[in-house]
Amino acid sequence: MSNFIKPSIHAFLVCDTIIIDSLTGKKSIIGAFTHLWAKTFPCQHPQVGVYFSLTDAEGKYAFEIQLVYLDKDQMVGKGSLPPIEIHNRLATHDFGVNIPYLVFPGPGKYEFRLYADSNFITQKDFQVIQQQPHSQPEESP
């Protein structure tokens, strides 16, 4: 194994989308969430964004994010970034990845896992919850 330096994570957020300003490089986190509701399964979601901020990194990194359905130990999606060279361990770097067209096979616990060069860095779990149909209230006379 090479001299892999594991970054320290400051933030790891799940949202609907990440917008990256083309002039400033600033990331806008749109629709942050900790769980999803779905009426039926499998449930299709047009896109999920993942934002992470890190420091204490040095060298070349290829970041990958995997989405795993923990109840079935099944990978249901992934996204990656082009390799990046980080020179200053004291600097903070932030990244945004949009993962298009995800299908959630069923309700339960899911987890986003962040890897750098196939080395596990951190994870963020969230729930996908079966939405119950609302019963119609009885009319009063």
In a domain, 104, yes or no: yes
Tens digit of each residue's pLDDT (9 = 90 or more) over 10-54? 999 999 999 999 999 999 999 999 999 999 999 999 999 999 999
In a domain, 135, yes or no: no
In the chain, the number of structural domains is 1
In a domain, 65, yes or no: yes
Q: What is the CATH number of the domain that holds 95?
A: 2.60.40.1930
Backbone region of residue 89 per phi and psi (left: phi > 0; alpha: psi in -120 to 50; beta: other values):
alpha
Residues 124, 9, 84, 88: what is their CA dihedral angle, to the nearest 10 degrees? 180
Tens digit of each residue's pLDDT (9 = 90 or more) over 53-80? 999 999 999 999 999 999 999 999 999 9
From 15, 16, 27, 9, select the one nearest 120 (Cα to Cα). Answer: 9
In a domain, 141, yes or no: no
In a domain, 58, yes or no: yes
In a domain, 70, yes or no: yes
* Residues across the chain: 141
CA atoms of 113 and 110, how far apart (whole Å): 10
pTM of the model: 0.88
Could you list the residue range(s) of the whole structural domain that residue 84 is in?
Answer: 8-130
